[in-house]
Amino acid sequence: MISITFAILLCLLVILSLVLLATRGSSVRHELSFRSDVPLYNETTGDPSLCPPEFAARIFSPADWTFVSGEKSRDVVRLFQHERRVVALVWAHQTKSAIHRIMREHTRITRQSQDLHLATEARLVYHYVQLVAICDLLILAIQSAGPSHVGSLATYAALLSQRFADAQHTLAITTAARELPGASAAH
Q: Which residues bind other proteins (CB under 8 A)?
A: 36-38, 41, 46-47, 49, 51-52, 54-55, 58-59, 61, 63-64, 67-68, 71, 73, 75-76, 79-80, 83-84, 86-87, 90-91, 94
Q: How far apart are CA 71 and CA 103, in angstroms?
A: 44
Find, among 161, 39, 52, the residue nearest to 96 by Cα. 161
**Per-residue DSSP letter, 181:** T
Of 63 and 119, which CB lies nearer to other proteins in the complex structure? 63
Angle at 149 between CA 145 and CA 153, to 5 degrees: 115
Q: How far apart are CA 136 and CA 127, in angstroms?
A: 14
Please report how close the Cβ of residue 102 comes to other proteins at its closest, in angstroms. Answer: 15
Of 51 and 171, which CB lies nearer to other proteins in the complex structure? 51
Please report how close the Cβ of residue 83 comes to other proteins at its closest, in angstroms. Answer: 4
Of 6 and 67, which CB lies nearer to other proteins in the complex structure? 67
Of 83 and 115, which CB lies nearer to other proteins in the complex structure? 83
Contacts of residue 148, defined as CB under 8 A and 6 or more positions apart, other chains included, come to 60, 62, 65, 84
Q: How far apart are CA 5 and CA 20, in angstroms?
A: 22
Q: How many CA atoms lie within 13 A of 92 on its CB side?
A: 29
Of 64 and 105, which CB lies nearer to other proteins in the complex structure? 64
